[in-house]
């Protein structure tokens, strides 16, 4: 299964979110912009979801139900962590941890899906 577009978009989201979370945490004046930061990150997350939807179409290499659920739940957790930025008094470190605990393993998982055909050839 090919997931290159999803991986590229996810890495962009991870990189952008790290920069944004860093700015929000270090500068109290930036905290007032949390809504616009969240909107931009949610747009990037929607791009990740769209790329995944295209790449996981039947015929592109099908995944078992639990693996599809894992990707869906990871994307949902990412979106919820980002949406939490908009809440007044939100704990930025907690949200950052929630985001990273969903996004980083997902990135590794997607890389593994691309490596799967090579693993099958060597077996």
Contact 123, 55 (CB under 8 A): no
Residue 102 to residue 23: CA distance in whole angstroms? 21
pLDDT tens figures, 77-92? 999 999 999 998 889 9
Contact 81, 95 (CB under 8 A): yes
Evaluate if residue 123 carries a pLDDT over 50.
Answer: no
pLDDT tens figures, 17-27? 999 998 888 88
- How many CB atoms sit inside 10 A of residue 65's CB? 8
- Reported pTM: 0.87
What is the span of the domain harbouring residue 63?
Answer: 4-122
């Amino acid at each position: 299964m090919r997931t290159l577009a999803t991986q590229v978009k996810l890495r962009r989201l991870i990189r952008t979110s790290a920069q944004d979370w860093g700015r929000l945490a270090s500068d109290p004046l930036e905290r007032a912009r949390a809504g616009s930061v969240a909107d931009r990150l949610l747009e990037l997350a929607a791009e990740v979801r769209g790329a995944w939807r295209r790449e996981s179409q039947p015929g592109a290499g099908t995944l078992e139900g639990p693996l599809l659920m894992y990707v869906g739940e990871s994307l949902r957790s990412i979106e919820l962590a980002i949406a939490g930025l908009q809440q007044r008094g939100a704990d930025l470190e907690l949200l950052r941890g929630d985001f990273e605990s969903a996004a980083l393993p997902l990135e590794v998982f997607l890389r593994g899906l691309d490596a799967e055909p090579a693993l099958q050839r060597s077996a």
